[in-house]
Amino acid sequence: MNARSLSRRSFLQNLSAGSLALTLGRARLAAQSAPPARKLGVALFGLGNYSTGELGPALRETRLCRLAGVVSGSAEKAKRWAREYGFPERNCYHYENFDRIADNPDIDILYIVTPPGLHCENVVRAAKTGKHIICEKPMAVTVAECDQMIAACRDAGVQLAIGYRMHYDPSHRELVRLQREKDFGELTGLSGGHGFRVRSRIWRLTQKLGGGGPLMDVGIYVVNAACLAAGAAPLAVTAREEPKTNPELFAEVEETLHWTMEFPGGASCAGVTSYARNLNAFRAEGAQGWIELQPAFSYRGVRVTTSRGPFDFVGPNQQALQMDDFADCILTGRRTPVPGELGRRDMQIIRAIYEAARTGKRVEL
Ligand code: NAD
C-alpha cells in the first residue's frame, strides 16, 4: 500500500485485509463459521483480578472454547464460579489435587493466572496432566525457568502459549504490518512507557512472586511491542534506575526504570516503566512517518494516531481472540504464534535490562 494513499477507510480495510489476516485470520474464520461440535474446555488456574475481571467474561465471547472448570485455593469461590458460568462442581479443583484434571475429558486447556514466581512450578506440574497450557505474562522469573517450562510441555506433547493479548489487538498488528511493508520507510526510532501507581504491599513488590518490579509486570509490554515493531530482538540494552521516592515500599524491586534496546539496522527503543507513575504509550518513527498508540496497552480503547492523521477503531476483545486462536491451534495442529519461546526471549531481554541497570554497563544479548 502506498504511503500517501492511506485514508481512514483504507487503513481500516488494510487492518482487516492485511495484518489481521495473518495471525488472526484462522481464528477469525473459524470463529465466524459454525461453532465446533464441542467447544474446547478451558480451566482457569488462579481466580484473582485478571481471571475475574477479564478472562472469565472473555470466555463468554469465545466461539471455540468455553470456561469448563477452575483451580482455586478457595472451594467456596470455585463453587461460585461453577454456578455463575454453568459448569459442574466436579470441575472445581484446588492447588493440591489439580493433577486429577488429567482424567477430566471436559478440560482441554489449563490457563495459569497466578503470580509469575509460581508459573514455573504450576506449568511443569500442569503439563503432566496432558492438557494444553496458556501461561500468563511474564512467563516466569528467570530464563532457566522458561527452559524448564518449555521442556516440560515438549515432553508432555502439549502446546504452551503465553498470554500476550496485545498480539491480537489490531493496533499492534498494524505495527507488524508497518514493519513488514515499510509504509513509513525504514524504522528510525521507538519509544514507549507503561506504568501505574502501586501504593500498598502486594506480591508485585516481591522478588519471590513478582521476580522484579514494573519491568516484569508492565514494562514487558513495551519490550514486546518494540520487538514487534522492529521485527527482531535487540542486540544490546542499557538501563538506569531512577532514585526511589519510596524506598521502603519498593525495597525489593525497582520503582521506575529507564532502558534502551538497540535493534539490528540501527533503530533503538527508549523505554520507561514505573510503579509510581501512570504511563501507557508507544511510538514508532520511520523515515517517512510515524505511528503513535495512546493508550497503547489497555484492554480496550487503544487509540492509534499516525503522521497522516488520527484513526480510531473499536478493538475486538483481545482475550477472546487470544483464547480462540489458541483453541484453533489445538483443533488444527497449528503452532501458536505466542509460544513459550517468545516468553523466554522476553525474559532474556528483561534479565539483560536488569543486569544493565545493576552494573551500569551495556549488555549484549
Ligand atoms: P491476583 O493477585 O489478583 O491473582 C493471583 C491469583 O493467584 C489469586 O487467585 C491467588 O489466590 C492465586 N495464588 C495462588 N497461589 C498464590 C500465592 N502463593 N500467592 C499469591 N497468590 C496466589 O493477580 P492478577 O493480577 O490476577 O495476576 C495474575 C497473573 O496474571 C500474573 O502473571 C499477571 O502478570 C497476569 N496478568 C496479566 C494481565 C494481562 O493483561 N495479560 C493483566 C493482569 C495480570
Closest CA to 109 of 67, 149, 78: 67
Q: For position 35, what pLDDT does the model report? A: 66
Ligand 1 atom with the smallest distance to the CA of 119 is 32
pLDDT in tens, 25-52: 444 444 455 667 789 999 999 999 999 9
Cα 49 to ligand 1 centroid, rounded to whole Å: 7
Q: Is 343 helix (H, G, I), strand (E, B) or coil?
A: helix
Whether residue 10 has pLDDT greater than 70: no
Q: For position 322, what pLDDT does the model report? A: 98
Look up cell 498488528; give the residue: 173
* 221: annotated active-site residue: yes
Over the chain, what is the mean pLDDT?
91
Q: For position 9, what pLDDT does the model report? A: 32
Whether residue 5 has pLDDT greater than 80: no
Q: Which of 39, 93, 131, 137 is catalytic?
A: 137
- Which residue, by CA, sits nearest to atom 4 of ligand 1? 48
Cα 334 to ligand 1 centroid, rounded to whole Å: 28
Closest CA to 322 of 154, 120, 126, 134: 134
Is the minimum distance from the CB of 137 to ligand 1 under 6 angstroms? yes
Cα 11 to ligand 1 centroid, rounded to whole Å: 36
55 within 8 A of 44, measured Cβ to Cβ: yes
Cα 115 to ligand 1 centroid, rounded to whole Å: 4
pLDDT in tens, 141-151: 999 999 999 99
Whether residue 4 has pLDDT greater than 60: no
Is the minimum distance from the CB of 115 to ligand 1 under 6 angstroms? yes
Q: For position 34, what pLDDT does the model report? A: 63
190 within 8 A of 286, measured Cβ to Cβ: no
Ligand 1 atom with the smallest distance to the CA of 202 is 2
CA dihedral (184, 185, 189, 194) positive or negative:
positive
Question: Greater confidence, 174 or 83?
Answer: 83
pLDDT in tens, 228-282: 999 999 999 999 999 999 999 999 999 999 999 999 999 999 999 999 999 999 9
